Amino acid sequence: MIVKFLDIGASYRELKEEIDGAILNSLSSGFFIGGPEVDKFEDEYAAYCGTHHAIGVANGLDALHLALRALDVGPGDEVIVPSNTFIATWLAVSQCGATPVPVEPDEFTFNIDPNLIESAITSRTKVIMPVHLYGQSADMDPIIHIARKHGLRILEDGAQAHGASYKGKRLGGHGDAVAWSFYPGKNLGALGDGGAVTTNDPIIADRIRVLRNYGSRIKYVNEVKGFNSRLDPLQAAVLRVKLKYLDQWNKRRKIIAEKYLNELKDTEIVLPNVPEWSSPVWHLFVVRHPNRDSLKISLEENGIGTLIHYPIPPHKQKAYEDVGFSSSDFPIAERMANEVLSLPIGPQISREEVDFINKSIMKFMKN
């Protein structure tokens, strides 16, 4: 049996007739920039997230970057970020001319540890940016409390958490804004790049709408130095179709996750921990093992695809070598990078495939 880590094409094949029809309708509309498909998706996604506004942009990195700009982040400012995350979280801060200030995660949830945030705040801190990593919400209440205490804004990175909930409320507007990615491998993925920002703040929403369109709301009238970052109407059409199935697909992921959790609980593998306040959507199922590389090789020899999210923490990337971080600065992030392994968990994976994966892991443990 061959088990791909993620078969991105499977979601298209499942919804081929609807997606093809949506694309043809979009092409027939004559709108190739903006237009009704983008407007409708923004309305529908905002309603799904329980927010007043959703603003489509070109990709997830732009969603983070433009949201930070809308929060007036610029040179000299600092933004608190997790030490373990995809580098886009840090890059968005750097693109504003600001400085990312890393904070270590809680080892049980992989998300930023609220208990460590306050000690990282300085007079230059402007925003706290929690990441809902792997599809599980960060612990937002203490983060919100800290932000309000110090007069800071909160931008959530929700790129992996479409549909996830915190204390019974779907992510989308706990902080000041949430940045989303619709990269094809996401729980809600387009057939190319795409992104959005959700917010309940009309001023933030208006600023992002202007920034994404060359700094203009009226053609040839440019209010600020903006960018070209607009959600493509063809991608919006695809996302509108997929949005209808997002909850159903997230439930499939949950079934797979529960099977992993139940059948691997007595092994040496460290399984994901789900706090009572979190309802994850299992974008990734990330385990930890001290002999991660050997486990990865063993599974690949059995035809099972795996990935490491992420093998090099941002502070060790060449892109940030000028900052001068040392290996001892973020030991938890480095330990995770050396131990984490993501198992297959796409919504189209079969029960038989999960059984095969679990048996292969058990076999490795016995050797």
SS3 readout for 170-229: ECCCCCCEEEEECCCCCCCCCCCCCEEEEECCHHHHHHHHHHCECCEEECCEECCCCCEC
- Measure the N-to-C terminal CA separation of the chain; round to a whole number of Å: 21
Report mean pLDDT in 10-residue bins for the chain, 367 residues.
95 98 97 97 98 98 98 98 98 98 97 98 98 98 98 98 98 97 98 98 98 97 98 98 98 98 96 97 98 98 98 96 90 97 97 97 92
Predicted TM-score (pTM) of this structure: 0.97
pLDDT value of position 328? 85
Q: Are 71 and 154 in contact (CB under 8 A)?
A: no
SS3 readout for 221-289: EECCCCCECCCCHHHHHHHHHHHCCHHHHHHHHHHHHHHHHHHCCCCCCECCCCCCCEECCCCCEEEEC
Q: Are 314 and 102 in contact (CB under 8 A)?
A: yes
User: What is the DSSP code string of 145-161?
Assistant: HHHHHHT-EEEEE-TT-
Structure tokens at 295: 């486990």
Q: Are 115 and 138 in contact (CB under 8 A)?
A: no
131, containing H or E segment: none
Structure tokens at 252: 């499939």
pLDDT value of position 367? 81
Q: Which residues pair with 286 in a beta bridge?
A: 342
Written as one letter, the residue type at 140 is: M
DSSP 106: P
7, containing H or E segment: none
For residue 183, is the peptide bond before it cis, meaning its omega torsion is within 30 degrees of 0? no
pLDDT value of position 326? 87
Tally the C-alpha atoms within 13 A of residue 231's C-alpha that lie toward its C-beta: 34
CA distances, 51 to each of 103, 125, 179, 199, 202 (Å): 28, 26, 13, 6, 11
Residue 135, sorted as left (phi over 0), alpha (psi -120 to 50) or beta, turns out to be left
DSSP 326: -
Q: What is the rounded CA–CA span in Å between residue 171 and residue 50? A: 8
Per the listing, tokens 């697909």 go with 249
Q: Are 1 and 357 in contact (CB under 8 A)?
A: no
pLDDT value of position 174? 97
